């Protein structure tokens, strides 16, 4: 077990949605030597920048969260960029960590790495049983490459590198840009804007039948912290809540909470994405004692409240 408060910890993507919550969680546990450089300081697609970053901060623990990521629309528009940037950032960071003898490397993968028709619930051993859903395959495959790197470096060099597979996250501070956001913030924004403008209709992609699992961002931060402290094996580990909800049910719930009483129109000319998603979360509980604790509707209401407060105070503009 690693005593994190005694370590120098470098978090990539620390200014992002999950990163901010993780850093807050680390600080609450007594970690006082946590750094989270921004991209304008160190471009992680550039190996020289990575070397300079490691030289400046001398980390003992690396937690790699940084990613080029977005919803279905963003993945369709940027398949090449999402593949290249995610692959090259991770490959160079893990290699630099190996050469510098970093004590612990934690790499965040993605649920998008699973095959399109994975049996539900998704078990970690199913990860290589097929090709990912087409709209986000380049992103998912880029992350999958990093799992192979972590496992092969552990085997050849004895690197203590672990790989976590978080499900769709949501919570306060999420990305609400409709061009790049995921489904929950996109639905919240569409419903709130429709209410404010008096519109009686919103249009959503697909037919509403796909299912998704969601993990509250603070629970995700807890899971990452526990894995960083306690987990030291090559097997990937799912991080999720174990729940499953259709997009149609999700839209109805968000409409009710936000007060949108109009009609939801499903644009079936647009893709649904992966048909179903629900994780087997037993390995995380067995290996490092992680279990999500935030009820979905509680987390959803906190997210909506944060968005309403932020937009009406002008912070989101």
DSSP 76-101: HH-HHHHHHHHHHHHHHHHHHHHHTT
Task: Return the pLDDT at 316.
Answer: 58
What amino acid positions are annotated as catalytic residues? 139
Confidence of residue 232 (pLDDT cuts 50, 70, 90): very high
Quote the domain boundaries for residue 138.
Answer: 4-172+215-243+277-294
Task: Return the pLDDT at 174.
Answer: 94
Q: What number is the average pLDDT over the span 5-9?
A: 97
Tokens 């697609």 label which residue? 45
Q: Is the pTM of this model over 0.85?
A: yes
Domain count, the chain: 1
Instruction: Select from 243, 288, 251 the least CA-distant residue to 267.
Output: 251
pLDDT tens for 153-207 read 999 999 999 999 999 999 999 999 988 888 999 999 999 999 999 999 999 999 9
Q: What is the mean pLDDT of the chain?
A: 95
Residue 195 lies in a domain: no
Residue 127 lies in a domain: yes
Task: Return the pLDDT at 169.
Answer: 96
Q: What number is the average pLDDT over the span 130-154?
A: 96
Residue 317: is its pLDDT beyond 60?
Answer: no
pLDDT tens for 58-103 read 999 999 999 988 777 888 889 999 999 999 999 999 999 999 999 9
Residue 91 lies in a domain: yes
Residue 36 lies in a domain: yes
Dig out the tokens for 161 from the structure: 């590198």
- What's the order of all strands across the beta sheet hosting 161-166? 34-35, 9-12, 61-64, 104-108, 161-166, 237-239
* DSSP secondary structure code for residue 132 in this structure: B
Residue 105 lies in a domain: yes
Residue 187 lies in a domain: no
Q: Which CATH number goes with the domain that contains 113?
A: 3.40.50.720
Residues 259, 123: Cα–Cα separation, whole Å: 37
Residue 250 lies in a domain: no
Task: Return the pLDDT at 314.
Answer: 66
Residue 259 lies in a domain: no
């Amino acid at each position: 077990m690693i005593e994190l408060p005694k370590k120098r910890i470098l978090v990539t993507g620390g200014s992002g949605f999950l990163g901010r919550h993780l850093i807050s969680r680390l600080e609450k546990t007594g970690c006082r030597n946590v750094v989270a450089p921004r991209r304008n300081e160190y471009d992680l697609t550039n190996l020289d920048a990575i070397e300079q970053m490691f030289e400046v901060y001398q980390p003992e623990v690396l937690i790699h969260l940084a990613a080029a990521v977005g919803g279905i629309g963003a993945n369709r528009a940027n398949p090449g960029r999402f593949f290249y940037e995610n692959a090259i950032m991770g490959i160079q960071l893990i290699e630099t960590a190996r050469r510098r003898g970093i004590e612990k490397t934690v790499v965040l993968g993605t649920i998008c790495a699973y095959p399109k028709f994975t049996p539900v619930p998704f078990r970690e051993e199913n990860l290589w049983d097929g090709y990912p859903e087409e709209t986000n395959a380049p992103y998912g495959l880029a992350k999958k490459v990093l799992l192979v790197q972590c496992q092969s470096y552990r085997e050849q060099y004895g690197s203590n590198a672990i790989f976590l597979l978080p499900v769709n996250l949501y919570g306060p501070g999420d990305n609400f840009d409709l061009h790049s956001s995921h489904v929950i913030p996109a639905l919240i924004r569409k419903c709130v804007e429709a209410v404010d403008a008096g519109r009686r209709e919103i249009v959503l992609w697909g037919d509403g039948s796909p299912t998704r699992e969601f993990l509250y961002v603070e629970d995700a931060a807890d899971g990452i912290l526990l894995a960083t402290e306690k987990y030291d094996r090559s097997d990937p580990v799912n991080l999720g809540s174990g729940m499953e909800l259709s997009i149609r049910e999700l839209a109805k719930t968000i409409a009710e909470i936000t007060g949108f009483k109009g009609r939801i129109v499903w644009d079936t000319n647009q893709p649904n994405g992966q048909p179903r998603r629900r994780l087997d979360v037993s390995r995380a509980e067995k290996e490092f004692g992680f279990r999500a604790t935030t009820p979905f509707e509680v987390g959803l209401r906190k997210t909506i409240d944060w968005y309403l407060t932020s937009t009406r105070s002008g912070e989101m503009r």
